[in-house]
């Protein structure tokens, strides 16, 4: 009696037979069941996949439900806000580079969380998490198609500070590039 090919395949082989969008969705679902270090590895893999995706693939990887699922994972402390931003800012970066307009972020619960945390972080006099604030601003601008005026001001101030860095390290240049890309998104939407 012959076994089906799938039964003989290792789980890794089955994953490779899936489309990139299916693989991406599977990894997204697995995030909540991983330790933080495993999450970082999965997020890096997801970001690499997003960079390889065509415009049509990118348009299909995030729905309102998926953004809401990330919000739920943050609420239940199954993923940190920092890890969520690590994923979403790179997704937003690819959205901008490949001219993807995804309106699901704006209707999700996640955007409300981002907005609240951005305002809260920005208003802090002491103990402000600058990196988180920058990541939130970049994610917000690259994933959104419209912006609240209060948040637009915050994002501009925060990202102009990053964009004005004079250091010439590779890491700093990447930070500056991302900040400028996010700021450019504002101009694209008001043309």
**SS3 of the chain:** CCCCHHHHCCHHHHHHHCCHHHHHHHHHHHHHHCCHHHHHHHHHHHHHHHHHCCHHHHHHHCCHHHHHHHHHHHHCCCCCHHHHHHHHHHHHHHHHHCCCCCCHHHHCHHHHHHHHHHHHHHHCCCCCCHHHHHHHHHHHHHHCCCCCHHHHHHHHHHHHHHHCCCCCCHHHHHHHHHHHHHHHHHHHHCC
Tokens of 32: 């909540």
Q: Which residues contact 68 (CB under 8 A, 6 or more apart)?
A: 108, 109, 110
Which residue is listed with tokens 């994933």? 143
The answer to whether residues 143 and 91 touch, using CB atoms and an 8 Å cutoff, is yes
When mean pLDDT is compared across 76-85, 104-113, 179-188, the lowest value belongs to: 179-188
Please report the pLDDT score of residue 190 as a whole number.
53
Arithmetic mean of pLDDT, 62-88:
94
pLDDT of 18 strictly over 90? no
User: Which one is predicted more confidently, 18 or 175?
Assistant: 175
Taking 70 as the threshold, does the pLDDT of residue 16 lie above it? no
The average pLDDT across 3-28 equals 64
CB 146 within 8 A of CB 185: no
Which range is least confidently modeled, 23-27, 63-67, 165-169? 165-169
Integer CA distances (angstroms), 136 to 15, 26, 36, 129, 156, in order: 31, 24, 19, 11, 12
């Amino acid at each position: 009696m012959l076994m089906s090919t799938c039964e003989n395949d290792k789980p890794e082989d089955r994953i490779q037979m899936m489309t990139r969008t299916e693989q991406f969705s599977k990894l997204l679902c697995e995030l909540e069941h991983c330790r933080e270090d495993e999450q970082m590895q999965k997020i890096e893999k997801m970001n690499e996949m997003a960079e390889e995706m065509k415009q049509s693939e990118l348009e299909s990887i995030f729905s309102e439900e998926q953004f809401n699922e990330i919000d739920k994972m943050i609420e239940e402390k199954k993923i940190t806000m920092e890890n969520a931003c690590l994923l979403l800012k790179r997704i937003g970066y690819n959205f901008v580079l490949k001219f993807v307009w995804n309106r699901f972020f704006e209707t999700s619960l996640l955007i409300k969380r981002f907005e609240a945390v951005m305002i809260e972080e920005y208003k802090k006099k002491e103990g402000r998490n600058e990196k988180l604030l920058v990541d939130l601003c970049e994610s917000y601008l690259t994933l959104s198609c419209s912006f609240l005026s209060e948040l637009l001001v915050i994002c501009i101030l925060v990202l102009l500070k990053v964009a004005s860095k004079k250091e010439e390290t590779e890491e700093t240049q990447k930070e500056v590039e991302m900040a400028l890309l996010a700021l450019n998104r504002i101009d694209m939407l008001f043309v």
